[in-house]
Structure 1
Amino acid sequence: AIVNHKALDISKYKKLDEIPYDFIRKRLSILVKQDDKNLLIVKGAFKNVLAVCSNVEGSDGRIYDLAAARQRIVSLYESLSSQGLRALGVAYRNIGSETIIAKDSEKNMIFLGFVTFLDPPKAGIDKTLEQLDQLGVRLKVITGDNRLVAANISRRVGIKSSHILTGQDLNRISNQALLHQANQIDVFAEVEPNQKERIIHALKLAGNVVGYIGDGINDGPALHAADVGISVESAVDVAKEAADIVLLEKDLSVLAHGIQEGRATFANTLKYVFMATSANFGNMFSMAGASLFLPFLPLLPTQVLLTNFMTDLPELTISTDRVDAELVDRPRRWNIHFIRRFMTTFGLLSSVFDYLTFGALLFILHASTSQFRTGWFVESVASASLIVLVIRTKKPFYKSTPSKYLSFMTLIVIGAVILMPYTPLAVLFSFEPLPSLFLVVLGVVLLLYILGAEITKKIFYKRVRF
């Protein structure tokens, strides 16, 4: 950033040695040769640089004792930080003819000043965060910057939390205390890489699904620890390798869109699970029960296979279905207890109307064996196709429009099963054309089933929260 800001002539300097930055010292030192002088130059976190200084260079080029100017330097640092400027301390010392430096060379330095950086929030980030908040996603800032910079940035992006937890605070509290604090605190400042990982673990133990965004080397452990690690294309290789998702642009709005798409996919997956489990559960009871009192098989094996094939066709289009807004407005999790209750409730409802169909075919219509199988096939496939339109939404089915593919396939399947007994395929599958009275009675049963499913759904969602 400095080089890009201004072209500097460094031809008079020759690098002799270096001590790399580490997270304990929080400093980087280099030894350079300038003419006949060997200068040790140190840059890093302000407090850590100031800690190895004993003097300060004034604006007039003279050297003064640090003690007299310390408070003024600290006040300037705090003023810069409160404006959102990241300020690094810079110090130097002439070490004579030495050509090799060690960590203990960082002493009796002369404080030279600050290098400041401004990294303002991206335009529109407040609206993106508001959108994420509406989706039930809460933003927390975890940064190595000092608390003043963190507070300034947080305010500018719309985080109004006044309580900030620092790395020193984290060192003093237990994991159990952090478990409670992690949900309450929105801004963590002056944290080290291992502390970021500790915060992520605490948030997960508190019951949260955690996504972490980072682009630096020190973000690696936290990216690994998070449920979803997110980095950007311009990040260091370590961060990109640790991340589950790499954003090609630094734009958080894509996350909001991704969350909505993910929740829509999850909602449609659940629709399929609800349909498949309840239908199979109901068919098991219907088939087993009918076999106890019927002197013939309720459906032939080929008819069972055809029924499964036909009922699967509308379900294949569920992935394209529209999703109601209330199904994506907050995060939801896989709940096997809820699925079990749904399967039992709607599976038994399906069986009730299957038995109602059996009774109508046997005692009202006096169907023959072939007519019984044909009638149940038509009712079974038509009801399974129509019930998808009911259970796909928590609303009344007429208030939630399905996708055109689901609607089209449902109509195609229902039309096909009604017409099939009147086509040459009837012989292949042992079907028999049904009198018009049969179709009327089966139509009444279907209407009662849809009405019963709607009433059951309303009662079910009042008692069972999902």
Structure 2
Amino acid sequence: MATSTSSGDGKPTTAASGNSATPDQVNLQKADLTSVFATLGTSAKGLTGADAKSRLQKFGPNAITEKEESAWRRFLHYFWGPIPWMIEAAALLSAIIGHWADFAIISVLLLYNAVAGFWQERKASRALAALKAGMAPKAEVLRDGDYQAVDAAEVVPGDIVRVRLGQIVPADVRFIDGDFISIDQAALTGESLPVDKKVGDIGYSGSIAKRGAMSAVVIGTGSNTFFGRTAKLVASAGKGMSHSQRAMTQIGDFLIFFCLLLALILVGYELYHDIVVAKDWHWSSAVDILRLVLVLLIASIPVAMPSVVTVTNALGALALSRKKAIVSRLESIEELAGVDILCTDKTGTLTKNQLTLHEPKLFDAEDADTLIVGAALASEAGSSDPIDCAIAAGVKDPSALRRYTRGDFTPFDPVTKYTLAKVTDADGKALSFAKGAPQAIAKLCALEGDAAKKVEQSVADLAEHGLRALAVSMSANDGDHWSFLGILSLEDPPREDSRETIARAREHGLAVKMITGDDVAIGKEIAEQVGIGTNILNAADVFPKDLNPDHLPQKSIDCVEKVDGFGRVFPEHKYAIVKALQGQHHQVAMTGDGVNDAPALKQADCGIAVSGATDAARAAAAIILTAPGLSTVVDAIDEARRIFVRILNYMLFRVAMTLDIMAVVVIATVFFGFTPLTPVMIVLIALLDDVPIMTIAYDNTREPARPVHWQMHRLLFGAGVLGLFAIAQTVGLLLIGMEWLGNKEWQSWIALSKEQLQTVVFLQIVAGGHLLLFVVRARHAFYAKPWPARPLVVAILGTQVLAVLMCGFGWLVPKIPWAIIGLVWCYMLAWMFVLDVVKRVLYQHLGGAEKSSGETQ
């Protein structure tokens, strides 16, 4: 069966077991064809139908297979974790004590969170499906002496296949017969131009024939091809939790710990009071204790937190779509906000992906125009080849070509390494033009001595600057004597906005690295032009031959972190680069467009498929760009950081308010002997506080200048301090309420019962929570610019009007006098200024700590 290893030059190698050798004994990519045939137990005559059938059973279908976890198991994962446990425990307690309304509301929220997460996960599973779709659906196979069309899945090692213009290579093959074939394997290897193949060369599964036709022997199928190995990397990539998922888990752990601590205090107090003090314990008291624990548990659950984060990210994704960035995985928005290293491909992202002529090297040609016209005459008329298109575009005067009548044309031959065209000029004189590899054209022209050395030096000079060299010659004597006209140089020039975009990225605190499949010289030249740097290395020189991305040598890891980029990169290299940087605690964004980029795109914290990417790249990526170039990435990072800050502000608000509710429940129960909030009130608080805050995605925020990360110790410390003052605010109102209940003069003014005091606390927490959000949404004073966005203000005002009406008319809560509502609002507005001062002092402290520790904002 075909297996994949790695050759010394970093290119994939394949071996297949046959009847006479094991995979370790013969390297089928490098062995001579006689050994290949012997190892595979086949010949140029192909296989019989019976032999092919037995091999299909032995090696399996020529398709990518993977183990998939059932949809039900994936769905059930969303009911496992700190926050789901809290919600499930609350639902169970509600059922035990018969609070069915609470049970229904809590269960619906739990189910909604699971369905929302499961739906997003399903989108990520498209990566392998797209890779499968890239396999050739049909193949021409030599069976029983005749070529026949079969499903590509039925191709087996040892088969003889025929590949012609426009066809997809169905498996990894070695070419055995035919003049030549030109293969576009850019999506697999990142090479920007089609590669010419000859007898003995390898062809990769999934590449496309652009010119010519050849027959080949299959040496690897299915997952044991270069294409299949890429799919294996995709399947194994990106298995860890995202930073946002880890943050949610840590917040859940913190709240669980705090809840359990307060529950122990509450239960201990109740048991002590009933057994020791009152000496009136009955088993019915256990139900009362459970009811109290239920209230505390519901109070501790940020039931709407997953939903708010999901919806906020979804609204943010809509904003990113307007910037030509389509989000396929919502949590990638938060990942993008924290990216500090951007790994970008070259062709089509930093460059135009359009070959153009550079300054030529003239030899016998009178001028550059003569040289270019000669090259155009040596090209096939109407050719779509990138080099021919660049030459045609370089002809300044198209009428110059019309002075010649085209005759015989000989396509590029990988043996001679040039094309040949015969033409007749306006005077009826027969001429021949040839263009191709400089060494081959020099040999055709019989150059020797200084002339030959001049050609070699010119090619070396061009290569040093990352330019491709193409020589042109002319014969006026029917091929008896050839003149070396000169050397054309071709480049894929940088996009006009690339240098400015790289500078913007660095201003945003990003390190940019170029990762390209092209030669190091080409990558170095482009990297210097766009401002990335010139420290570009060959990936094969940095990574070991037996590359294991999960266990890289420290020397390789250090090199990855220091260099400006890599050339001659293969899929396993890109994947290893991402893993190495992540191992050094970097958040990495990787751009790509081909099948070869898919594993790295999926493994990266934020994989970005650039404009024109393949289906496999788009499916593996978290963000898909619909506009060319890299500038869209920087725009998306700006927007992602603003979205992250909005979610961070919500987290501060939500954790502080959750601490407030839990603490007030315990303090009121222990010190005042009554429950300040009913379970229904707590659920209403969650809905009234969180549902309108989904519009926080529209809020106006100051854009962070540096990458932003989840720093849980800072978040929890800040939320704890704000929560402490929120507790003081609520307990202060509770103390006033308890005094009101015992003051006959106040009661004669406005009567107030304990049930009404619960409504007062309810109103204070609902309204005070949103006022706290206005406080924490920015580091500056809450009344300074940028002010809250209109959607957020309208949503919160609507909620507050509803809460006031509920309290004033007694909807779902005990009715309280309108005068009390007014007093509560005056009390909260006064506290709003106090909390704002606390916030600014807190942020100054955290900001100073950040600067001293060197952490990012």
Question: Which TM bucket (shorter chain)?
Answer: 0.7 to 0.9
Structure-2 separation of matches of 1:172 and 1:295 = 70
255-264 vs 300-309, which moves further: 300-309
SS of alignment partner, residue 350 of structure 1 = helix
**AA aligned opposite 1:430:** P
Structure-1 separation of matches of 2:840 and 2:794 = 26
1:133-172 → structure 2 map (5 Å cutoff) = 133-159=506-532, 161-167=533-539, 169-170=541-542
SS of alignment partner, residue 693 of structure 2 = helix
Would the alpha carbon gap of residues 218 and 307 (structure 1) be closer, same or farther in structure 2, given more than 3 Å must change?
closer
1:444-459 → structure 2 map (5 Å cutoff) = 444-459=826-841
**TM-score relative to the length of structure 1:** 0.74
SS of alignment partner, residue 629 of structure 2 = coil
Would the alpha carbon gap of residues 417 and 231 (structure 1) be closer, same or farther in structure 2, given more than 3 Å must change?
closer
Spell out, residue by residue over 1:142-167, the C-alpha distance to the aligned partner (whole angstroms, 9 max, x if none): 224344433321222123x3433334
Would the alpha carbon gap of residues 299 and 190 (structure 1) be closer, same or farther in structure 2, given more than 3 Å must change?
closer
For 2:738, the equivalent position in structure 1 comes to 362
Q: Check if 1:433 corresponds to 2:817.
A: yes
Contact kept? 2:442, 2:455, Cα under 8 Å: no
SS of alignment partner, residue 455 of structure 1 = helix
**AA aligned opposite 1:356:** G
383-392 vs 206-215, which moves further: 206-215
**AA aligned opposite 1:63:** A
167-176 vs 188-197, which moves further: 167-176
Which residue of the other structure, out of 325, 328, 332, is the alignment partner of 2:703?
Answer: 325
**AA aligned opposite 2:458:** L
274-283 vs 232-241, which moves further: 232-241
For 1:106, the equivalent position in structure 2 comes to none
Residue 208 of structure 1 and its aligned partner are, at CA, apart by 1.9
For 2:250, the equivalent position in structure 1 comes to none
1:167-246 → structure 2 map (5 Å cutoff) = 167=539, 169-170=541-542, 175-216=553-594, 218-236=596-614, 239-240=617-618, 242-246=620-624
Spell out, residue by residue over 1:253-272, the C-alpha distance to the aligned partner (whole angstroms, 9 max, x if none): 22122222222222222222
Would the alpha carbon gap of residues 331 and 288 (structure 1) be closer, same or farther in structure 2, given more than 3 Å must change?
same
Residue 379 of structure 1 and its aligned partner are, at CA, apart by 2.0
Structure-2 separation of matches of 1:234 and 1:330 = 30
1:252-331 → structure 2 map (5 Å cutoff) = 252-326=630-704, 329-331=705-707
Residue 455 of structure 1 and its aligned partner are, at CA, apart by 2.4
SS of alignment partner, residue 377 of structure 1 = helix
Residue 225 of structure 1 and its aligned partner are, at CA, apart by 4.2
Structure-2 separation of matches of 1:312 and 1:225 = 33
Contact kept? 1:315, 1:388, Cα under 8 Å: no
Structure-1 separation of matches of 2:583 and 2:508 = 21
For 1:63, the equivalent position in structure 2 comes to 446
SS of alignment partner, residue 16 of structure 1 = coil
Residue 360 of structure 1 and its aligned partner are, at CA, apart by 1.7
**TM-score relative to the length of structure 2:** 0.43
SS of alignment partner, residue 737 of structure 2 = helix
Spell out, residue by residue over 1:361-386, the C-alpha distance to the aligned partner (whole angstroms, 9 max, x if none): 22267353244233323322221121
Q: Which has the higher contact order (CA 8 A, sep 6+)?
A: 2
Contact kept? 1:215, 1:231, Cα under 8 Å: yes
Contact kept? 1:145, 1:190, Cα under 8 Å: yes
Structure-2 separation of matches of 1:143 and 1:457 = 47
Structure-1 separation of matches of 2:819 and 2:596 = 76
SS of alignment partner, residue 511 of structure 2 = coil
Contact kept? 1:371, 1:434, Cα under 8 Å: no
**AA aligned opposite 2:442:** G
Contact kept? 2:560, 2:581, Cα under 8 Å: yes
Residue 356 of structure 1 and its aligned partner are, at CA, apart by 0.7
For 1:408, the equivalent position in structure 2 comes to 794
Structure-2 separation of matches of 1:112 and 1:298 = 94
RMSD: 4.0
For 1:50, the equivalent position in structure 2 comes to none
Structure-2 separation of matches of 1:403 and 1:458 = 21
**AA aligned opposite 1:177:** K
Residues matched between the structures, number:
414
Q: Check if 1:373 corresponds to 2:758.
A: yes
Name the % identity: 26
For 1:117, the equivalent position in structure 2 comes to 490
Contact kept? 2:700, 2:788, Cα under 8 Å: yes
For 1:29, the equivalent position in structure 2 comes to 197
Would the alpha carbon gap of residues 247 and 412 (structure 1) be closer, same or farther in structure 2, given more than 3 Å must change?
closer
Spell out, residue by residue over 1:211-269, the C-alpha distance to the aligned partner (whole angstroms, 9 max, x if none): 22233455455445433333345345554555444433323222122222222222222
Structure-1 separation of matches of 2:413 and 2:772 = 81
**AA aligned opposite 2:589:** G
Would the alpha carbon gap of residues 325 and 172 (structure 1) be closer, same or farther in structure 2, given more than 3 Å must change?
same
Structure-1 separation of matches of 2:730 and 2:507 = 43
Contact kept? 1:57, 1:112, Cα under 8 Å: no
Residue 439 of structure 1 and its aligned partner are, at CA, apart by 3.5
For 2:276, the equivalent position in structure 1 comes to none
For 1:247, the equivalent position in structure 2 comes to 625
Structure 1 unmatched ranges of 5 or more: 1-13, 45-52, 91-110
SS of alignment partner, residue 250 of structure 1 = coil
Structure-1 separation of matches of 2:807 and 2:618 = 60
Would the alpha carbon gap of residues 231 and 81 (structure 1) be closer, same or farther in structure 2, given more than 3 Å must change?
farther
**AA aligned opposite 1:28:** D
